[in-house]
Structures are given as C-alpha cells and as structure tokens.
Chains A and B, each alone.
Chain A
Amino acid sequence: MPTATFKVWRTDEKGGAFRDYSVAIVPGMVVLDAVHQIQATEAPDLAVRWNCKAGKCGSCSAEINGSPRLMCMTRLNSLPLDEPVTVEPMRAFPPIKDLVTDVSWNYRVKQSIKPFAAKKPDASDGTWRMRQADIDRVQEFRKCIECFLCQDVCHILRDHKMHDRFIGPRFLTYAAALEMNPIDAGDRLDDLKNHHGIGYCNITRCCTKVCPEHITITENAIIPLKERVVDRFYDPITRLLRVFRS
C-alpha cells in the first residue's frame, strides 16, 4: 500500500514541534482520515477537534501545508505527496494541545453583538412575509459553519493581534446577516464603527479566499456594511437629516 509522510504539530510542556508519521493511503482519503489513522495506531493522545467529517460543523480547522483548511474536506489527492504534508493548528489562536486551539474569544465576541430583534409580525396570522429574493444574501451569510478560518487568516488578528478592537470577518458577516435580515429591527452600525472596528478592515480579501462555505465575505458583507457606516456617519447630508430628525 502506498504511504505518505505527515508532519504533525505536537506539543508538550516545553513547547511544540513537528513529528513525522507514516500513513497508509486509502482511496478518497482526506487529511482528517490521516490524523485518525495516526491516532488509532501510533499516537492515541494526538489532540484534534472534529465532528461531522463532511464540512458541516466547522470543527476541524487547521493549517495544512501552511494554508488554513478544513481537514475533513482536504483530499490527499489535492496535495503533493512526494513531500511531507504539514498539519498544524490555527496560528491566530492560543494553543491548547497539538492541533487544538483556544477559540473561546470568538464566542465572547459573538455575545457582544446586539442580538436579533424581530419586528412586529406583518401578516394577520402573526408571522412574517419575506420574499426569497430578499433573503438570498442573508442565507449566504448564514451558511457560515463557524470554522474561524477567516479569523485565522485575517492579518488584523493574526499579525496585529487587535482582538480587543476588531471582531474579525466572521463576526462582520454575522452582523451583516442581522443587519440585512428583512425582519430585524436592531441597529448595529454605531457598534460596528465604534466598538467592532469595521474601519480596520482594508479589504485584503484573504478571508473570502479561505472560506470553505464560499461566502463572499468582503464584497457581500463587509463592503456593504462599510458603506452603511459611511452613509450614516460621514455623509454630510445624511448627518444633517439625522440632526433635524432628532
């Protein structure tokens, strides 16, 4: 049976290092299968997160040959196997063990975003009417599986470590899904500008490129939100109108 070499990031009290493992290749195999094979044979204590093994839960995020991917959706036949495959944890989050990182910051950020607040029902039966065309975009954002790969790759978090000032692409997308929901009555523009750091995003599009759900994070979520923020806070006419209205 053909084999491939995997360099997997292992940690101990002293720090971490890549360790080599030889893996037998089975047709159709994905990187997560290789990690499972290593667990079942050589290293039962190798720490990894996974649940669905079908790209639906967003648990198995890692950096494979240096790029942020889902391990369960990365086929071995898409990688050059004549050289070792490196598998390491997402680097933008604090390490816990081996491939597992501390992503709790993301949960705290989400909690800081104003929740969905439904408008009064607009139909006599106490429900809402929405046209499919009006919710297509919201549904695109709601495809998000919270794998946090976009957070991992965004330079504002990864390199500049501005976790206290910038919520990252995942949560800008989340805010966009709420803002664009036809029956939501909340208003998050002020927070986006003043607390969630939307201004820091300089549209490098790295987040969009890694999103396994193919959400067009920058064009469809971030840029329209930025425009709304600009309209509200910087457009002199809008500002004037607001002064008169209030």
Chain B
Amino acid sequence: MDFETHDYDVLVIGAGGAGLRAAIEASAAGVQVGLICKSLLGKAHTVMAEGGVAAALANVDDRDSWKVHFADTMRGGQYVNNWRMAELHAKEAPDRVRELEAWGAVFDRTADGRILQRNFGGHRYPRLAHVGDRTGLELIRTLQDEGVHRGIDVHMEFTVVSLLATDGRASGVVGYERERGRFKVFGASAVILATGGAGRAYKITSNSWEGTGDGHSLAYHAGAELLDMEFIQFHPTGMIWPPSVQGILVTEGVRGEGGILLNRDGRRFMFDDIPDAYRKQTADNEDEGWRYTQGDKNARRPPELLTRDHVARCIMREVRDGRGSPHGGVFLDIAWIKKRLANGEEHIRRKLPSMYHQFKELADIDITKEPMEVGPTTHYIMGGVRVDGDTQMSSVQGLFAAGECAAGINGANRLGGNSLSDLLVFGKRAGEHAAAFAREHRRVSIDTAAARAAADRALKPFEAGPGGGENPYAIQSALQEMMQALVGIVRNEDDMQRALQGLTALRTRVERAVVTGHREYNPGWHTSIDLGHLLTVSEAITRSAIERKESRGGHFREDFPEKDPRFAMFNVVTAKASDGSMQVRRVPLPAMPAELKQIIEDQK
C-alpha cells in the first residue's frame, strides 16, 4: 500500500476549541500547520458547550481575581489537580477571553457594556462569560473563522487510526479520509492531540459519537502516560425522558439562573446534605439562595450550585431511596422564578433559549411552565494524557496534548466553565510550544512498516470469512452497557473486577467484528475502529478506579465511601508495559509552592 503523504511542522489532531486555538497559535509563530478532524469544521464537541467560559474578569463582582479562581479550581478538584496548570489557567483565562472578543466573539453584556458573567457551581463569584446558553458555538465559530484566514491546512472528515513514534519521538500519524476510505500518512515535527473526551464509553452520555477517547488511546499506544483516568464527571442534569433524548445535557446555567432541584415530594433535597468544605459558602435558606442567583453580593450560593460530583450523588440518593421522579430522576424547576420575577417567562426564554427550545421540541415540555425531569449523564473525563504544565508536552518527545484529552488542571472534579477556558489557555500554550519544538527539532522519518500495519489492522473487519463475525454496533452497545453498570457513578471492587473480565471478552468480540459494504463513507467501519479506542480507555478507567481505594470527586466507591488523606498524596498513572500489558502506578503529587498554599488557605 502506497500512502499519499503530507508533511507539516506542527500537526494538530482535533478541531474543537483546543485544537483550533493551538493551530492559530502555531501558525502565528510562523510554522506550517495542518489540522485534522473527524467531522466537518465547526461541528466538534465544543460547539455543544452551553453555560460559559470561566475567567476571573471581575466584571460583575470586583472581588474576583485569579487567586480566587485558582483556589476554587483546586477545591473543586479536591486538591489532586496539577497546581501549576490550575495557576496558569486562572492567570491567563481573562486574556484568552478578551482576545476572542478581538476576533469577533459577541458575548452578552453588563449594563456598562462589558462582558457579562454568570454564576456556576463551585465558582465563588459570577465568573462565566457567556452568550445565552450557546457559548460553545460562539467560541468555536470565532476560532474557526479566525483560523481559516491564517493559512492553516484543514483536513476534514479524516480519522487518525494510529500515532507514529520512532525512538520515543512523535513522527506523524496514519489515518483515513472518510469520503473515499483511503489511507494517508501525515509526517510532522510536532503533533498536538486535541481530540476531546471519551463519554461514548458509557451508555448514558452527553457526548457525541466523536467522544471515543481516541487521543487517550493513540497517546497510550505511542508510549505516552495517562493520568487520573478514574475521574469521570457525571453531570447531574441530563435529560431522562423521553428515551430518545436520554443523556442530552441540561446546562448548569439553569441552576445558575435560579433553577431548583426537587424530589417527588416537592422537597428541595439539596439543603439536606452540604459538605463541610462548602458549608461556609452555601446558603442555609431558600431566600438567601435566590438572592445569590440575582446578584446579591452578600448572599451565599444555593446548594444546587455545589460541585457536580456532589449534586449527582444527591440525585442518585433520592432516586435510590424511592423519592425520584416518574422516570427515575428528579425535578429541575426554573418556572418557579415567576413567583419572584415579574417578567419571569420572558427572562427564562432570553437567558436559556436553547434549553427552552430543546425541551419544547424534544420533550413537549415548556420549561417556563413546568419542571424538567433530569438525572446524571456521563459528561467529561478529567483524566487524560499526562503533560508538562507549562508546555503541554507528554512523555513522548514532540507529542503534545491540550483540552479535554489532556489531564491535570481539573483534578478529581472539573468546575463548569473551566473546560472552555482550559481549551483556550492550554490550546494556546500547546501551539506555542509545539511550534518552538518544531523549529528546534528536525523531523524524524516515518516508520512505513508501522503505518502499513496500522492500516491493515483497521481494514481487518472487511475480511471476515463466510459465517462472518459480529456487527460493530452490537459490540459497542454491549461495552457501553457494561461500563455504565459496572464502572459508573457508584463503583466497587467486585463490579470493576468483573468489568475487567468483560473487557477481555469484548476484545475477543472486537477481533471478530465484521463490516459490510465498501470503504467509502462507511459508519459501520468507523465504529469498528472506534471500538479499539473505547476498549483502551475503558480498561484505563477501570484499572485506575480499582487503584484508587477511596472516594474523591467524580470517583465514588461504595466500598470506600470516604475521602482518604493518604490518597490525596498521589495521582494514578497508566502506561503500556514492554510486554504490551496495561500498568497502573501511583505517582506522588509535586509539592505546591508556599505562596499557592497560602492562597488556598486565605480563600477557605
């Protein structure tokens, strides 16, 4: 097989917020940049982000600063975050947001004409710059429109199947273009992974078909380390009814605007369990909570705006104890604010237009009149490629990662809004450092034998003999059901050991997957390729979750339901051993400088 080849100084895999921001920066540094994505440009997952981008602009509350944002992020992540990333993120996010405005983004405004910011869970002050509830669209469109005028080569509907490395140095990728089904090789001096998340490992998820953990898996197989893979964010409010919309996200912005959670009996159950770390900052009565959402600086936040891990577990508790809504969730009510606001209906429609639209069209529910039914949905993976906090380079030389597929900034739980800012801050850094790396290091040649082997592997499902194998869709849903049941929101050792056995069995089934039709634009074939990535990330999640014998953030174990201070001292790292098996190990957290410790103390 001869490959069509392309060569770049910097090759970016992924055109979500992180990939686009990285490509813009690398191109601004004057190197040749190629950008690859699985879907059309502008359709990446980032387009779906709703609530906003977190940055301590202090436009709405001038008590905000990078220090408070830093402390909030560390507290939200339960202190196992990479403190250096949390620091850089808090310091640089405001500039990254203002820069978007200079590129044409049009954020909602304060009365004095500056960028408006809204409340979100775990953020002490109103911090999320937003555009109604379609912030991700604004962000991706701005970056896309800026990017296309900078001479970046975009290869759309192209799927990378393998990352090539020679002697611990990234050399390029091999993949196929969907339209014709042809394989191509891309050589590059530096490769940036910006492939997003892995929610598709679970049955109920807010993630699109693209979220199959490709970057995690590509990096792992190329020899890079993964970090914190046990930390998955189950967002508390996904749609649960009707079945066809299960998992679709209901933005936290609903609660930010005053929405409340109620159980079957109409009880506002979030007041029943407020964690000690947040007690001082949380309202103890309904009136105070309401005033907070309306901008009263002396009020404390309502318990609905506690961190996502906690809210998700409270919902699970209500459902488990028989106090759930008819379809196995709880009620989220924003319509009640009409009692407090004269123009409540219009206010809801203006602040939450796409939620209004989504419920009206998909569930026949008018959220200005009735409560929504919601339940947890797999939303975000805090774990990812282990990178250097300043440069975003992984343990493989010349391989960088940014955005959701990189790990560190979020620790055990991500605060809402901290992803979009993460994409901008670390996308930029990755672009800058990858360009510098490409300038300083010559390209290494591509191992064509490895490229050919990867292509052959990807084509195998076409070769099934008579009698054939299994439909890849069936295997995919078996995997998703298993991960949901055994490595979901509530975990224990026995279940997870069973999941490991289940993954071994699934691997055998994947070997026998068969696809019909030809190579051109064949989604069945694509699904068979995704399966390999899903198996890798699922195994990494499960093994890391077994290793962490405590509960922290997004990781909750019923056999170890408490936080354990000994586990606050390390991260779990996953890597491929020389025999090809997956190994996990504990890596001590680096010591935090005294001044950052002091900031955290001051903000307690």
- Using CB atoms and an 8 Å cutoff, list the residues of chain A in contact with chain B: 26-30, 33, 39-41, 43-59, 73, 75, 96-98, 100, 103, 107, 110-111, 115-116, 118, 126-132, 135, 138-139, 142-143, 145-146, 178, 181, 183-184
Q: Is the CB of B145 within 8 A of A115?
A: yes
- Using CB atoms and an 8 Å cutoff, list the residues of chain B in contact with chain A: 39-45, 47-48, 98, 101-104, 106, 108-109, 112-115, 131-132, 134, 136-138, 141, 145-146, 148-149, 179, 208-210, 241-245, 248-249, 354, 357-358, 361-363, 471-474, 477, 515-518, 520-525, 527
Q: Is the CB of A110 within 8 A of B45?
A: no
Q: Is the CB of B248 within 8 A of A54?
A: yes
Q: Is the CB of A44 within 8 A of B102?
A: no
Residue numbers in A under 8 Å from B104 (CB-CB):
115-116, 118, 178, 181, 184
Q: Is the CB of A116 within 8 A of B103?
A: yes
Residue numbers in A under 8 Å from B131 (CB-CB):
139, 142
Q: Is the CB of B358 within 8 A of A57?
A: no
Q: List, sorted by A's number, 24 A–B pairs whose CB atoms are closer than 8 Å.
A: A28-B244, A30-B362, A39-B473, A40-B477, A44-B473, A45-B517, A45-B518, A48-B523, A51-B47, A51-B208, A52-B48, A55-B361, A56-B136, A57-B208, A75-B361, A110-B145, A110-B148, A115-B104, A116-B104, A118-B101, A130-B109, A135-B106, A138-B106, A142-B137
- Residue from the list A43, A56, A184 in contact with B134, Cβ < 8 A: A56
- Residue from the list A40, A41, A73, A178 in contact with B362, Cβ < 8 A: A73
Rounded to whole angstroms, the CA-CA distance of A197 and B141 in the bound complex is 24
Q: Is the CB of B354 within 8 A of A56?
A: yes
Question: Which of A52, A135, A184 counts the most B-chain CB atoms under 10 A from its CB?
Answer: A52
Q: Is the CB of A59 within 8 A of B109?
A: no
Q: Is the CB of B40 within 8 A of A59?
A: yes
Rounded to whole angstroms, the CA-CA distance of A103 and B106 in the bound complex is 26
Rounded to whole angstroms, the CA-CA distance of A166 and B568 in the bound complex is 61
Beyond known contacts A41-B473, A45-B522: 18 more, CB 8 A cutoff: A28-B242, A29-B242, A39-B473, A39-B523, A39-B524, A44-B471, A44-B472, A48-B523, A52-B208, A53-B245, A58-B43, A97-B520, A115-B104, A116-B103, A118-B103, A127-B98, A128-B101, A146-B42
- Residue from the list A44, A100, A131 in contact with B527, Cβ < 8 A: A44
Q: Is the CB of A28 within 8 A of B138?
A: no
Distance in Å: Cβ of B34 to nearest Cβ of chain A: 16
Closest 4 CB pairs of A and B: A28-B242, A44-B524, A45-B517, A129-B113
Rounded to whole angstroms, the CA-CA distance of A204 and B362 in the bound complex is 29
Distance in Å: Cβ of B244 to nearest Cβ of chain A: 4
Q: Is the CB of B358 within 8 A of A54?
A: yes
Secondary structure of the A side of the interface? loop
Rounded to whole angstroms, the CA-CA distance of A167 and B213 in the bound complex is 37
Distance in Å: Cβ of B156 to nearest Cβ of chain A: 8
Q: Is the CB of B109 within 8 A of A131?
A: yes
Distance in Å: Cβ of B260 to nearest Cβ of chain A: 23
Q: Is the CB of A55 within 8 A of B527?
A: no
Rounded to whole angstroms, the CA-CA distance of A111 and B41 in the bound complex is 13
Rounded to whole angstroms, the CA-CA distance of A46 and B522 in the bound complex is 7
Residue numbers in A under 8 Å from B518 (CB-CB):
45
Rounded to whole angstroms, the CA-CA distance of A43 and B525 in the bound complex is 12
Residue numbers in B under 8 Å from A26 (CB-CB):
242-244
Distance in Å: Cβ of B44 to nearest Cβ of chain A: 8
Rounded to whole angstroms, the CA-CA distance of A26 and B245 in the bound complex is 11
Distance in Å: Cβ of B150 to nearest Cβ of chain A: 10
Q: Is the CB of A181 within 8 A of B243?
A: no
Question: Which of A27, A40, A41, A103 counts the most B-chain CB atoms under 10 A from its CB?
Answer: A40
Q: Is the CB of B248 within 8 A of A53?
A: yes
Q: Is the CB of B521 within 8 A of A98?
A: yes
Q: Is the CB of A46 within 8 A of B523?
A: yes
Residue numbers in B under 8 Å from A33 (CB-CB):
244
Q: Is the CB of A27 within 8 A of B362?
A: no
Rounded to whole angstroms, the CA-CA distance of A244 and B354 in the bound complex is 49
Rounded to whole angstroms, the CA-CA distance of A104 and B42 in the bound complex is 13
Q: Is the CB of A73 within 8 A of B361?
A: yes
- Residue from the list A49, A57, A110, A181 in contact with B106, Cβ < 8 A: A181
Q: Is the CB of A28 within 8 A of B361?
A: no
Distance in Å: Cβ of A57 to nearest Cβ of chain B: 5
Q: Is the CB of A51 within 8 A of B45?
A: yes
Distance in Å: Cβ of A75 to nearest Cβ of chain B: 7
Rounded to whole angstroms, the CA-CA distance of A194 and B149 in the bound complex is 21
Q: Is the CB of B516 within 8 A of A44?
A: yes
Distance in Å: Cβ of B274 to nearest Cβ of chain A: 32
- Residue from the list B244, B474, B516 in contact with A40, Cβ < 8 A: B474
Nearest A-chain residue to B354, judged by Cβ: A56
Residue numbers in B under 8 Å from A116 (CB-CB):
103-104, 145-146
Rounded to whole angstroms, the CA-CA distance of A45 and B473 in the bound complex is 11
Residue numbers in A under 8 Å from B208 (CB-CB):
50-53, 57
Residue numbers in B under 8 Å from A48 (CB-CB):
523
Residue numbers in B under 8 Å from A110 (CB-CB):
145, 148
Residue numbers in B under 8 Å from A135 (CB-CB):
106, 109
Rounded to whole angstroms, the CA-CA distance of A33 and B243 in the bound complex is 10
Residue numbers in B under 8 Å from A118 (CB-CB):
101-104
Distance in Å: Cβ of A146 to nearest Cβ of chain B: 6
Q: Is the CB of A30 within 8 A of B244?
A: yes
